[in-house]
Amino acid sequence: MCDTFVALGNSTADGAVIFGKNSDREPNEAHEICIIPAADHAEGTMVNCTYVSVPQVAHTYAVLLAKPFWIWGAEMGMNEHGVTIGNEAIFTKLPYEKEKGLIGMDFIRLALERSRTAYEALHTITQLLEAYGQGGSCGFTHPFYYHNSFILADPQDAWVLETAGRHWVAEKVKDVRSISNAATIGSEWDLASEDLVREAVARKWCKGRDDFHFARCYSDVLYTTLSDSSRRYACTTQLLQARRGMITLQYAFETLRSHGLGAVSTPRLDRAVTGATVCMHAGAGPVRNSQSTGSMVAHLAPNLHTAWMTGTSAPCTGIFKPVWLDSGLPLDEPSPTGKFDERCLWWRHERLHSEVLKDFSNRLPVFSANRDALEASFLADWQTCGADEETRRDFSRSCFERAERALTTWIEDVRSTPIRRAPRFYYSAAWRNFNRQAAME
């Protein structure tokens, strides 16, 4: 399960577009940040996606990706033109294609590599969707099939794109918008596939255009309900609406850290085996089997596009750090896998996350104020970085190094904090099992 949002320039404090996303995947499905440089390709070249190959284009743009380590595509990313995309799993009544094909994350990378604007990216995805469909398992350790929705943004505009099989519908964003694991477009839209309504009529989901409603006609009620998407969608929407015209990067960080309105910092995560929050932590049972494994906030100004990445799970325990495509990624480490690896930032942070979950309401406050202060210092210094590539490269590296030192300190501080209220037995058992599967000490 995931959550994605965007605020256009008319809704932010500084007039830039701000995009945010939490990527929710399985607990040990390590997230990787990588930069793929621009490239030229010979005619007739094919590009190998996660499962299938499609014809390559003559030139691909440089892209910054945040992705599950085993997948070719990405959960979210930005290209050199500031085009930024994130996707959501949505559940529809149309049968899922079990044969291997393009998956939602492949569409994101293909669109980022081929598009100069959000509008171009929308058409890139819909053309590929209509030509190849969407199919194949998106699960790490177990089969998982779904259709996709997307938010596509650039420094001027943003779109919401929702799909069902090879059908699709799109809405241009007017100010603020969020999506979760449910279709949100109803009877009004800006663009759609030619046979969208005709398919619904043929399946007797509606009588015609007058009573057609995309979400109502195409949504699978059971799986959509189990995703708890309505509560998360309501949470992000209310948070964005409450600060419309004053939305800042810090507020975007806080939105992704939300555990529900009125419970941003210290909820009981072990209350049930169902339910989900924007900042998601896995639990016991088959419904709560995912968590926020990576987070990204993009600041899209006309002349400078900054990606703020955690590079870790659980944004409430992570630190947002600035990355620019042209100045490179300040991480010199191997790609993570599904097993613990001390050399990888994602796994080093999992030690902190795992320790916090042993008494979340008591242990998170041990360092949360320091986390906020560190990010505030990053944001203050970021304002003075300017357009000089070398200055930005040094600043980005400094932020990652300071965050690493903080992580080391916080792990020790949390471990030395006594557990006052241990989680329920089934929650603790679930996390012992996750850690055992990852071979994490």
**Any idea which residues carry the catalytic annotation?**
2
* Cα–Cα distance for residue pair 342/336, rounded to 1 Å: 10
**Running DSSP on this structure, what letter comes out for residue 426?**
H
Give me the sheet containing 3-7, strands edge to edge: 176-179, 3-7, 17-25, 291-300, 305-309, 321-323
Which residue type sits at 105?
M
Integer Cα distance of 108 and 84 in angstroms: 9
Which pair of structure tokens corresponds to residue 409? 């300190």
DSSP 49-78: -SS-EEEPPSEE--EEEEEETT-SS-SEEE
- The SS3 call for residue 258 is coil
Q: What is the DSSP letter of 183?
A: -
Answer whether 415's CB lies under 8 Å from 355's CB.
Answer: yes
| SS3 track for 208-244 | CHHHCCHHHHHECHHHHHHCCHHHHHHHHHHHHHHCC
Fill in the amino acid letter for 275: G
Residues 101, 137 contacting (CB under 8 angstroms): no
Q: Taking the C-alpha atoms of 238, 427, 357 and 252 in order, what is their torsion angle to the nearest 10 degrees?
A: -20
How far is residue 317 CA from its own chain's centroid? Answer: 16
- Farthest CA pair distance, the chain: 64
8 Å CB contact between 377 and 371: no
State the alpha helices, DSSP H only, in 50-151: 104-114, 118-132
Residues 81/123, Cβ–Cβ less than 8 Å:
no
CA 328 – CA 289 distance, rounded (Å): 33
**CA angle (94 as vertex; 89, 100 as ends), nearest 5:** 65
Rounded to the nearest angstrom, the gap between the alpha carbon of residue 419 and the centroid of all alpha carbons in its chain is: 31
